[in-house]
Amino acid sequence: MVLPLASADMTEALLVSAYDLHHGLLPDHDRLLGPEHAHTLYGTPTLLVVDSGGYELSDTFESGEIGRGAREKQPFGRAEFEALVDRLPRDRDQLVATYDRPDPERPSYRQQREAAQQFAADRRYLKVDFLLKPPAGDRFVEPAKLTPHAGDLRGFDVIGVTEKELGDTVLDRLVCLAELRQLLDVSGAETVPLHVFGALDPVLTPLYFMAGGEIFDGLSWLRYAYHEDTAMHPDELAVLTANIEAIQARRDAQRHLSNLRQLGRLKLALERWANEPDRYDHLGRHHQRIREIYETLQARLRRRD
């Protein structure tokens, strides 16, 4: 398991799945849900983020995971999700994403918001990440359709969206995220951060940050190797770093810890760019291409105004 190896380096935040906790698929899960939680590996990060478990129930795969066909799914519904959330310790900072179940008859934005507001009202001790999903009939989140509800979104601690539900192309996703950020800003929710689920990558994350995202998670740091501001196959890293004789387990351990360190450096780079937005060189070796795409995004947004 990666978690025991890397937990000491995850001092700021750690995301785990409510589905995995419910089914006992994570180490020390029982102690996390008990009075000794501060003495577990989950006690290291300042913030524990609990995902709703909808990803494990779907047949889609994020950019950091290879699709291998339908997953083996165990029962997990709203009742199980809420029962798990109610067992979480209340004496630590936690951010919990609202319930999400793959369903072709997804509720409207109003119904989603009302359910999320009720969930939050029943658990005022939690920070709540309202996960927006396209309603029935839509493939992607559409900020324009959210306009009537935008003022009500300021009551949540975080607004979440999944990367793949922002649009069909990378540019579409950036535009959607930027428009959502603009909608929140003009509706009194300018301090509510946007969480992009499934978008943790040394090339893509800077673009999503520049478009308005502030919180990111994903599997790429587990699946790939980060090298020179790029995600690549782990075996390619072994070749480029002349590490071809190391056994797989050792290379994996080194890669995971190295990836975490590089994510820390990426965070600092994004902070520097935010303070000096004319200094694209803060964004690493791909900064010229990132700048070109950012300028394309801004041009697209101006045409839509």
Give residues with Cβ within 8 angstroms of 216, minimum separation 6.
Answer: 195, 196, 199, 200, 205, 208, 209
- Among 6, 31, 23, CA closest to 15: 6
pLDDT tens for the chain, 305 residues long, are: 688 888 888 889 999 999 999 999 999 999 999 999 999 989 999 999 999 876 655 556 555 555 555 556 677 889 999 999 999 999 999 999 999 876 667 899 999 999 999 999 999 999 999 999 999 999 999 999 999 989 999 999 999 999 999 999 999 999 999 999 999 999 999 999 999 999 999 999 999 999 999 999 998 999 999 999 999 999 999 999 988 988 998 999 999 999 999 999 999 999 999 999 999 999 999 999 999 999 999 999 998 76
Does 289 fall in a domain? no
- Among 110, 129, 107, CA closest to 196: 129
Does 282 fall in a domain? no
Distance separating alpha carbons of residues 271 and 200, to the nearest angstrom: 16
Helix (H) or strand (E) holding 57, with range, is: helix 54-57
Does 90 fall in a domain? yes
Does 92 fall in a domain? yes
Does 278 fall in a domain? no
Distance separating alpha carbons of residues 283 and 271, to the nearest angstrom: 10
Does 158 fall in a domain? yes
Q: Which amino acid type is present at position 177?
A: L
E strand segments, the chain? 13-17, 47-51, 94-97, 127-131, 158-162, 194-197, 215-216, 225-227, 230-232
Quote the number of domains for the chain.
Answer: 1
Instruction: Provide the residue range defining the domain that includes 91.
Output: 2-221
Distance separating alpha carbons of residues 262 and 38, to the nearest angstrom: 27
Does 184 fall in a domain? yes
CATH number at residue 98: 3.20.20.105
- Among 97, 70, 65, 102, CA closest to 81: 97
Does 132 fall in a domain? yes
The model's pTM: 0.92
Q: Are strands 13-17 and 47-51 parallel, antiparallel or unpaired?
A: parallel
